[in-house]
Structure formats: structure tokens, C-alpha cells
């Protein structure tokens, strides 16, 4: 369908750009593109054919919830986020029965990964099977930029947890 759209609007030469930025989701045996990104970028191209791709989907929401969960226990997530940013798969058991209350009150790291999967930040490399371990990856460049933003934020002055820890560590070093 995406290829047909690109041909219809005379942008077939942009097929690889659309694939790297907006494709990569796996649902059953079907690989799909993010429809919002495809329509948004195609609309932008029709208006200005030289426009570069943007992370449209990312701009429809906020990373605040993910950042707050990550900040509570960064040691539980940092190494796996690093693997994902290195284009490696991670293996997690997803729990589709979680609620926002569970996310706020429980430090089960699988809840964080389940949220990322359910919200489209991660996709499976094989068919998803409930109750089993899933191999998860970042689906495309658009979402990759979200992970980079979380990584950059986690070591910034905007992350009070990091600032407090950093300040305590520096104080301990100075005190010997």
C-alpha cells in the first residue's frame, strides 16, 4: 500500500527513505509502516518535494511517562536501552495485563518494556506469543530518535535523579 501511494504521487524514488524512517512494525506475519508517519511525510512531500523526513509520530505525544519510569530505576533499563541503540535485540517477557497503576507502583522492569511494546516504541522480531519471551527491537529511525532523546535526557541537568546522584557522587569524591 505504501509503495502504491508513493507511485501514485510520483515519489517511488523515496521508497527506501520511507522504509528506514517509518517501517518495521511486526503484527503476526505482517510487517507494517506507521500510518501517521507515512501520511504526514507524504503530505509534506506533496507540498515541498525536497522536504526531509521528520519523526511525526514522536511529536503526537510526550516522553514524560517513559522518562519518569526510567528515572525511578535507571540501572534496571540502561544496559538494554544501550543494546537497542546499538541496533541489537533484547529479550523480555511482556505482560499485557498491566495498568497505569501497576506502572506507577511496581518496579517490575517487564512493565516498562511492555509499555514500550504496546505504545509502538518497540516491535517483535518474530511472531508475538503471549506468555513467552519476545525478542524486541526499535522498529525504525523515527522511534530510534525517541530512544536517543531518553538517553540524552537521562544524563542531563533536566533529570533530577541523575543530578542528585551525580552531586552525591562528586561530594563523596571530594570528601574522600
pLDDT at 170: 67
pLDDT at 154: 74
Average pLDDT estimate for 40-66: 89
pLDDT at 141: 93
Structure confidence by residue, pLDDT tens digits, 56-115:
887 777 778 888 887 777 778 888 988 999 999 999 998 877 877 777 777 778 888 988
pLDDT at 152: 78
Structure confidence by residue, pLDDT tens digits, 100-147:
777 777 777 888 898 899 888 999 988 777 788 999 999 999 999 888
pLDDT at 2: 95
Residues 6+ apart with CB under 8 A from 138: 24, 84, 85, 87, 121, 122, 123, 144, 147
Q: Specify the range with the lowest mean pLDDT, choosing from 9-23, 27-41, 153-167.
A: 153-167
Average pLDDT estimate for 151-168: 68
Average pLDDT estimate for 137-158: 83
Amino acid at each position: 500500500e505504501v509503495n502504491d501511494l508513493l507511485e501514485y504521487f510520483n515519489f517511488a524514488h523515496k521508497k527506501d527513505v520511507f522504509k528506514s524512517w517509518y517501517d518495521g512494525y511486526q503484527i503476526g506475519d505482517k510487517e507494517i509502516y506507521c500510518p501517521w508517519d507515512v501520511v504526514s511525510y507524504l503530505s509534506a512531500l506533496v507540498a515541498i518535494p525536497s522536504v526531509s523526513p521528520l519523526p511525526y509520530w514522536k511529536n503526537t505525544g510526550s516522553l514524560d511517562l517513559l522518562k519518569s519510569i526510567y528515572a525511578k530505576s535507571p540501572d534496571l533499563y540502561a544496559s538494554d536501552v544501550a543494546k537497542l541503540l546499538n541496533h541489537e535485540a533484547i529479550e523480555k517477557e511482556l505482560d499485557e495485563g498491566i495498568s497505569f497503576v501497576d506502572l506507577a507502583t511496581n518496579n517490575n522492569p517487564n512493565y516498562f518494556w511492555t509499555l514500550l511494546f504496546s505504545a509502538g516504541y518497540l516491535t517483535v522480531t518474530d511472531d508475538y506469543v503471549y506468555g513467552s519471551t519476545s525478542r524486541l527491537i526499535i522498529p525504525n529511525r523515527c522511534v530510534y530518535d525517541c530512544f536517543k532523546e531518553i538517553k540524552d535526557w537521562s544524563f542531563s541537568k533536566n533529570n533530577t535523579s541523575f543530578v542528585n546522584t551525580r552531586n552525591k557522587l562528586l561530594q563523596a569524591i571530594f570528601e574522600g
